Structure 1
Amino acid sequence: MTSMSGAATYALPALAIGLAAIVILGPGSRRMATGVRIWGAPVAGGEALALRIEGVRRLYGASDPAEIQGIEVNATAAGAPLERWTGATGSDGIGEALLRAPAGLKEPVVVQVATGAGEVLVEGQVPLLPPPPATEPSALPGATRGELRLRVTTARGALAAPFPEVVHVVVETEGGAPGAGARVEARAAGAELEGQGSGPVERLAGANGAVELALKPLSHAVELTLRATQPAGTPAGPTGAAFARAPGVTGVTGVTGATGATGATGATGATGTWDGRLPVIPGAIWLDPDGLAGERPALRLVSPAPKPRAYVSIGGAHGRLLGAIVPLAPDGAGFFSGTLALPAGLGGAAWAVVAGDPYEQGAGTVAWPLSRAGSTSPQHVQLLADGMPAAEAREQARAAGARRAGLLVLGAGAVTQMLLLALRSRSARRRLEEHLAAAAGGESEDGTSGAPLSREDRGRLIAAARAEPLLSVLALAALVGLSFAAVAALATFR
């Protein structure tokens, strides 16, 4: 028993500290917390809940995309269940979920995202946005001078270099009548006009005072200079002329007003100029309008810079109708392109937000129009629910539980070690007292005898033997406890 106690006294501290270190540095260390975040732009009354699911891994504030397999998305609108969606997030951590809502979205809308094993990644109520307002193309800002006024708009609201677009120019007199027959001279810096370099290019305005210019931006800073001249005595065109959109664009082209309405003659030798910058979006992914024509319309996306994928949100008056991730690959023309076939029954689609990032917050994000009719204001995705705080809390609780188990091992080891030291001290003191008693009685270990000690001397000798070992044992026990406490304190830094 004495040999076993001695071996345990020396082996226990190393065993307890080693086991505690394995637990604290292994299961007790923080790991990557995996969760999801939900993005979207649901509108009250919409017939679809198009959600962008983002898988995230996070450790100490640093986030990485997480590829999560076997995701199940369930949702209810005003207590009525929607279609369940199952899928996964890709290597970029993004997945597009579409849940049909034939009865329309009504609050409260509760969404739950879970794994196939039943682990809930996020659950909560998502807000519904109001329907987007109808918009009309606004004239580009520019410096104007002269009697004639020039209103400039882009056909699709934005330009991407180096892809062709149409710029619309409407010439009006000071009285607001169309500048019919006005000669418009255009020059461009940083762009190609009508395939003739930077210009000048001349065009005659129609009866509605409208001119179309084909422009191909060659840089991200394009300056356009226009000069309109209306010869003396030129009819100003029909008064109160109406303006409508050309097919497939959001810009303005002129159409004649009421049949037979006549206006005043134009001002004698009237002129006007316009100078301004065109909205060229750096890094924008271009949407080829030719792909929208035909029986099978598709989104053909072209990026001037190397990008592995494009993130698309298609929507209209009923909010976000569809989300997609379009892979981009070299197309042999020096660009990266990809195609997304539009599904049938996608009625009401008015715009497509195309971005190089899943949050649609990058500088190159553009909303391209899809509809010929009146357009609505595009809506970018918003963060609807964030499951990362709960995921980090679960991971922190798991690691804290493992660390508590390691500290419990340390505490148990310290108590056991001090008990073993006390037991060995008691056994050693008993043997010492027996030896001193025998020596005080006149007997020695070799069997010889001597003069016995008096009762007083024997008491003082045994008391001195008892006092010093006890202090040594207490000091050693305190040192052992301090060692274990230091290890426990260091463990709290994990």
Structure 2
Amino acid sequence: MISMPNAATYVLPALSIGLAALVILGPGAQRMATGVRVWGAPVAGSEALALRIEGVRRLYGADDPAALPELEVSAASAGAPLERWIGSTGKDGIGEALLRAKGGLKAPVVVRIARGGETLVEQELPLLPPLPAAETSALPGAAHTSALPGAADGELRLRVTAARGALAAPFPEPVRVAVETENGAPVPGARVEASAVGADLEGQGSGPVQLAADARGAAELTIKPLAHAVELTLRATRPGSAPPGPPGSRGASGTWEGRLPVIPGAIWLDPAGLAAGRPQLRLTSPAPKPRAYVSIGGAHGRLLGAVVPLAADGAGFFSGTLALPDGPSPGAAGWAVVASDPYEQGAGTVAWPLSPAAGPALPRRVALLADGVPAAEARERGRASQARRAGLLVLGAAGVAQMMLLALRSRTARRRLEAHLAAASGGEGEDGTDGAPLSREDRGRLLATVRAEPLVSVLALAALVGLSFAAVAALATFR
């Protein structure tokens, strides 16, 4: 029969190492850290806090979008709580939260996002100052009223502007032409001849197309880009004068040559949808895109955000619609920033005006306001580290117990051997016969040898056991 200490000596190492391995490779393994990022462009005094919530799962520095259900977003403006928002992020990890601020946003604005009672991020958001009504910008893809750059020649000056600030191929857009004299006076009834490379003019091909300016010297030309690089050539003459000459000639005429701002990869906003009884955004992408990210805003910042699904239509494009809510009207909002990425940083991002009366103020693109992913990583590392410490504690305790069991077995074996030698050296043999007794000196040397050798073996074996457990503990730290 095997005694309990002997059985524990063989069973304890296997059980302890197996339990430690389960703990270290199970709860102690690094898992995906789930966090959120907050994007937006809040403006002081705005009555809406429109936030773009991005759910992120990160593992070893690699990020993946996370669909997070039942998110609760709450905020406080100057200590006054705002309306809560409860929703989720989609498969792309993006969700749009809208919190009303009836008294206007005032610093400090603190936002908190929680899920299942766990706080994912809690941070103060920076507020931007309102944009001046007359502020303009030359940011590519932004709608503005600045004249397009080009090479001009002749007595008459032509000022060319894109009516909505940008063009998207292959969709029609109006381009406005103003004919003026050298001192800036308009030329009523001026005749304009237009031709283009890479575009269709007025549905009649690449030109030339004849236009007549109105009493203010203004004419409008509908251009449908067929390429991303479109060159437009305009030649203007006074009414009743001879037809325009070659580009280098002078006289009562003028020429303009330049490139039109065609944005590659832009998602087009159909202006016909804004003129309907119930305005809506009709978005069309010439390339296959699953969704469009929209930010609606104006001088008071970002008022609304939305993710618009796009699907193939009968014309070979990918289209989607978004009904504008009763909150911000197109005239009050001013602009819709349409992008194919949630960060609005792609080259195809365009800010389309929502009404002809929209001023030239440029809506700011969303910026990163708060990042809760590093904190989520820290929480995950803390959890895994705590589990691994528990596994290492099991290994350490098992190592100590194993060495104590070995020492106990050695002590018991030595006592039995000493008793056997003492009986044998006293003259009594194993078969009950009398043997020759040993002298006291010989008996002392024999017992000393018996006592020394097992002790050295036990210490060496205990050291090997401790080294084995230490090696397993060291390997467990490489995670």
Report TM bin, short chain: over 0.9
- Matched to 2:193, the amino acid is E
d(CA) in 1 for partners of 2:396, 2:250: 101
- Matched to 1:175, the amino acid is N
d(CA) in 1 for partners of 2:132, 2:34: 38
| 8 Å Cα contact 2:294-2:338 kept in structure 1 | yes
**2:229 alignment counterpart:** 221
- Matched to 2:117, the amino acid is G
Task: Determine which of 192, 207, 230 is the counterpart of 1:199.
Answer: 207
**1:122 alignment counterpart:** 121
Say whether residues 1:286 and 2:255 are aligned partners.
Answer: no
d(CA) in 1 for partners of 2:23, 2:268: 54
| 8 Å Cα contact 1:183-1:230 kept in structure 2 | yes
Task: Determine which of 348, 363, 367 is the counterpart of 2:351.
Answer: 367
**1:41 alignment counterpart:** 41
**1:404 alignment counterpart:** 389
Question: Could you list the per-position Cα deviations for residues 135-156 of structure 1 after superposition, in whole angstroms to 9, with x for gaps in the alignment?
Answer: 3511111222222222111010
Question: Could you list the per-position Cα deviations for residues 285-315 of structure 1 after superposition, in whole angstroms to 9, with x for gaps in the alignment?
Answer: 1000000013211101111111111111100
Task: Determine which of 446, 462, 468 is the counterpart of 1:477.
Answer: 462
- Matched to 2:290, the amino acid is P
Task: Determine which of 169, 177, 182 is the counterpart of 2:177.
Answer: 169
d(CA) in 2 for partners of 1:158, 1:459: 107
**2:245 alignment counterpart:** none
- Matched to 2:456, the amino acid is L
d(CA) in 2 for partners of 1:334, 1:392: 44
Q: Report the Cα offset of residue 108 of structure 1.
A: 0.5
d(CA) in 2 for partners of 1:387, 1:268: 64
Q: Report the Cα offset of residue 382 of structure 1.
A: 1.0
Task: Determine which of 322, 326, 330 is the counterpart of 2:312.
Answer: 330
**1:185 alignment counterpart:** 193
Say whether residues 1:314 and 2:296 are aligned partners.
Answer: yes
**2:113 alignment counterpart:** 113
- Matched to 2:120, the amino acid is L
| 8 Å Cα contact 1:232-1:268 kept in structure 2 | no
d(CA) in 2 for partners of 1:7, 1:133: 84
| 8 Å Cα contact 2:302-2:363 kept in structure 1 | no
Written as runs of structure 1 = structure 2, the 5 A alignment for 1:94-493 is 94-115=94-115, 117-134=116-133, 135=136, 137-230=145-238, 269-347=251-329, 348-373=332-357, 374-493=359-478
Q: Report the Cα offset of residue 233 of structure 1.
A: 7.3
Q: Report the Cα offset of residue 477 of structure 1.
A: 0.6
| 8 Å Cα contact 2:154-2:250 kept in structure 1 | no
d(CA) in 1 for partners of 2:290, 2:148: 33
Question: Could you list the per-position Cα deviations for residues 422-463 of structure 1 after superposition, in whole angstroms to 9, with x for gaps in the alignment?
Answer: 001111111111122122212222222221111111111111
Question: What runs of 5+ residues in structure 1 fail to find an aligned partner?
Answer: 235-266
Q: Report the Cα offset of residue 232 of structure 1.
A: 7.5
Aligned to 1:375, what secondary structure does the other structure show?
Answer: coil
d(CA) in 2 for partners of 1:334, 1:2: 82
Q: Report the Cα offset of residue 465 of structure 1.
A: 1.1
Q: Report the Cα offset of residue 35 of structure 1.
A: 1.2
d(CA) in 2 for partners of 1:485, 1:52: 49
| 8 Å Cα contact 1:231-1:269 kept in structure 2 | no
Question: Could you list the per-position Cα deviations for residues 3-34 of structure 1 after superposition, in whole angstroms to 9, with x for gaps in the alignment?
Answer: 22111111111111110000000000011111
| 8 Å Cα contact 1:352-1:367 kept in structure 2 | yes
d(CA) in 1 for partners of 2:44, 2:355: 21
Q: Report the Cα offset of residue 231 of structure 1.
A: 5.9
d(CA) in 1 for partners of 2:172, 2:114: 45
| 8 Å Cα contact 1:42-1:128 kept in structure 2 | yes
d(CA) in 1 for partners of 2:289, 2:334: 25
* Sequence identity (%): 78
TM-score (norm 2): 0.93
Question: Could you list the per-position Cα deviations for residues 179-221 of structure 1 after superposition, in whole angstroms to 9, with x for gaps in the alignment?
Answer: 3333222111111111111111121222322121110001111
**1:262 alignment counterpart:** none
**2:139 alignment counterpart:** none
**1:247 alignment counterpart:** none
